[in-house]
Amino acid sequence: MNKNLSSKLQKWESAVFSILRMAIGWHFLYEGIAKIAAESWSSQSYLANTTGVFSPFYHWIAASPVIGVVDWVNIIGLILIGLGLFLGCFTRIAAVGGALLLTLYYFAYPPFGFSLLMSSGESHLYIVDYLLIEAIALVLFAVYPHTGYSLEKWLCNRKASKKAKVAAVADSDDSIQSRRQALKNLVSIPALGLMGWGAYENSRRYGIDVMSSATIQLNRKDLAELNGELPRGKIKEHEISRLVMGGNLIGGWSHGRDLLYTDQLFKAYNNERKVYETLILGEAAGINAINIGFASNELLRKYKKATGSKIKVITQISADVNDESTLFDALYGAIDFGVDIIQIQGNWVDWMTRDQHVDRIGRLLDKIKEEGFTAGLGAHTVDSLIACEEQGIIPDYYMKTMHHDQYWSAHPRENRVPFEQDGPTNLDHNKYHQNIFCGFPERTAEFVKNTTVPVMGFKVLAAGAIEPADGFRWAFDNGADFICVGMFDFQLVDDVNICIDTLRAINESQSRQRPWMG
C-alpha cells in the first residue's frame, strides 16, 4: 500500500477512535456531575425498581444501610472514568471500569422483552441498547489500547522529546511536526472546557438539565421510609393487603372530567416498563394484589412471567349487554390468563340491574364459583347490590365505590339519580359530569354496615378529588375491609404509609363500627 495513503488512513483511524472515546467519556462525566448538581439524588429508587434475574441483588443494595456510600462510589466512578476517557489518561483502566459499570446498568433494566417487536419504552430496543453499545466500545478500547489524540500521548511525546534534546538537536522540520502533534494531542482539554462551560451556563439559566434521567427529582418517598408493614385481610382463601393497586392508571381510564387528553397522558406515562417498575415497587412496599380491567390481563401475565411475581390478579369481566350468548366468554378468557380472583365489572352490573336483567348477574356469578374461583360483585350504584341481595345473589365479596361528596366538583345531591354514572356525561354543571362515583354515600355506608361478606371500596379518592388521608379514613371508617386505589409510582410509598397510619389510628380510636370481615 502507498506509504502516504497508509499514513492518512492511520490518522483518520486515530481521529475516529479519539472522537468516540471522548464522546463516551463526556457521557460518563456529565452523568456524574449531574448527580452532584441534583443534590438529593440517590440510586435507591433506581435499584429498588429494577427488573430481571439479577433484581434481588439490586434490591439488596437498595435496602442496605450503605446505600449512601454506594451513591458516592457511583458518582466518583462516573467522574473519574469520564475524565480518563475524555482526556485520554489511564485509558485502559477507565475503559475496563466503564464497561463494568455499564454492564451493571444494563442488567438492572434488561431490554429482553418477549418478542422482537415489543418495545420496553424510552430508547431501549430488543437486547441492544445504548448501554450495550457503549460497553462493547469500551471493551474494544481495553483489549486494543489506542491513545489517539490524548493526554497520555502528549506526555509520552514530551518525555521522548526531552531524551532527544539530550542526545542531539532535532532537525527543524521534525521539531515543527512534533509541536503540531503535541497541539493535536491536547485538543481534548479546551474541548472539555468549552463543553463544561456550556453545561454550566445551561444549568445556571434553566436549572438542572431535565433530559438526564439521573437528575429528575419527584416528591416521592423510598422504601426505606415505610412506616411499617401493610396489614392484610382475607377473602375466602386469599390473603390480601388492605391496600390493593387499582388498574385504571395502567389501562388509561383517567376520569378526567372535561380534560380530554388525560387518558392519553396516563397511557403515555405508564408504558410497559413504567408499569413493571410500579408493580415491583408496590410489591416491595407490601401490596400483594391488583384489580384490573379485562384489557390489562395480557400485560399482567407478561409481568408475572418476566419477574416471577406472585401478585394476586383480580380481573373484571362483563358481557355484551345486547347478546346473552356472550355471558361466559370473558370468564373463560380470564381463566385462560391464569388470574386469581374474578369479579363482575361494576358498570355491567349497573346496566343489567337498570335494564332488569338481574338474572344474568346471578348466572354469571354462579358460573364463576362453579369454576372454582372467588367471585366478586362490583357496582357504582348501591341500588344494584341491593337488588342482587334481594334476589339471593350474594358474592364472596363486594366491590363498591366508597367516597364522601364534600369536594368542589360534586354536583348537588338533590340533582343526583341512580345509575347516572352509567350514562352519558351531562353538560349541565349541576348534574352528573364524570365527577362523582358514589352518588349516595350514606346509603352505601348503610348497605356496607349490614352486609356479611368482605367489601372492597374503590374510587375512594373520587378520581383524585379527595386527599388520600381523608378518602382512606372515610372508606375504612364506613366499613370497607379493603380499598382499591390507582397510584402512580411516585405516589405509591406515600399512599402505603397513609394506609398504615390510617388503619393504626382507626384501631386506636375504635372509630370503625363494622367488624372486619376479611
For 21-43, write each residue's pLDDT tens digit.
888 888 888 888 888 876 667 78
**pLDDT > 60? residue 189:** no
Q: Verify that 211 and 342 share a domain, yes or no.
A: no
- State mean pLDDT over 203-219: 42
> Coil, helix or strand for 453?
coil
For residue 449, name the pLDDT band (cuts at 50, 70, 90): very high
**pLDDT > 60? residue 116:** no
The answer to whether 150 touches 87, Cβ cutoff 8 Å, is yes
What is the Cα–Cα distance from 118 to 402, expressed in whole angstroms?
Answer: 38
What is the Cα–Cα distance from 49 to 290, expressed in whole angstroms?
Answer: 17
Render pLDDT for 256-291 as a digit per residue (tens, 0 to 9): 888 889 999 998 888 888 898 899 899 999 999 999
Q: Verify that 310 and 191 share a domain, yes or no.
A: no
Render pLDDT for 132-183 as a digit per residue (tens, 0 to 9): 888 888 888 888 766 555 555 555 555 555 555 545 444 444 444 545 554 4
User: 437 φ, ψ to 5°?
Assistant: -125, -15
Render pLDDT for 374-399 as a digit per residue (tens, 0 to 9): 999 999 999 999 999 999 999 999 99
Q: Verify that 197 and 244 share a domain, yes or no.
A: no
Q: Is residue 373 part of a domain?
A: yes
Q: Which domain holds residue 209?
A: 3-149+187-215
**pLDDT > 50? residue 211:** no
The answer to whether 284 touches 50, Cβ cutoff 8 Å, is no
Q: Verify that 208 and 300 share a domain, yes or no.
A: no
Render pLDDT for 301-360 as a digit per residue (tens, 0 to 9): 998 887 788 999 999 999 999 999 999 999 999 999 999 999 999 999 999 999 999 999
Helix (H) or strand (E) holding 60: helix 55-63
pLDDT of residue 156: 57
pLDDT of residue 36: 83
Q: Is residue 49 part of a domain?
A: yes
For residue 114, name the pLDDT band (cuts at 50, 70, 90): very low
Q: What is the mean pLDDT of the chain?
A: 83
For residue 206, name the pLDDT band (cuts at 50, 70, 90): very low
Q: Verify that 193 and 257 share a domain, yes or no.
A: no
Beta pairing, strands 341-344 & 312-317: parallel
Positions of E strands within 276-383:
289-292, 312-317, 341-344, 374-379
**pLDDT > 90? residue 462:** yes
The answer to whether 29 touches 89, Cβ cutoff 8 Å, is no
Count helices and strands in the chain by DSSP H and E runs: 20, 10
- State mean pLDDT over 415-431: 87
CATH value at residue 347: 3.20.20.100
Q: Is residue 126 part of a domain?
A: yes
pLDDT of residue 157: 56
Smallest Cα–Cα separation from 51: which of 236, 221, 272, 266? 272
Q: Verify that 203 and 272 share a domain, yes or no.
A: no
CA distances from 32 to 78, 133, 184 (A): 5, 19, 27
DSSP state of 425: P
For residue 120, name the pLDDT band (cuts at 50, 70, 90): very low
pLDDT of residue 198: 54
If one counts the domains in the chain, the total is: 2
pLDDT of residue 411: 94
Query: Where on the phi/psi map is residue 207: left (φ > 0), alpha (ψ -120 to 50), or beta?
Result: left
Grid cell for residue 282: 408496590
What is the Cα–Cα distance from 479 to 490, expressed in whole angstroms?
Answer: 28
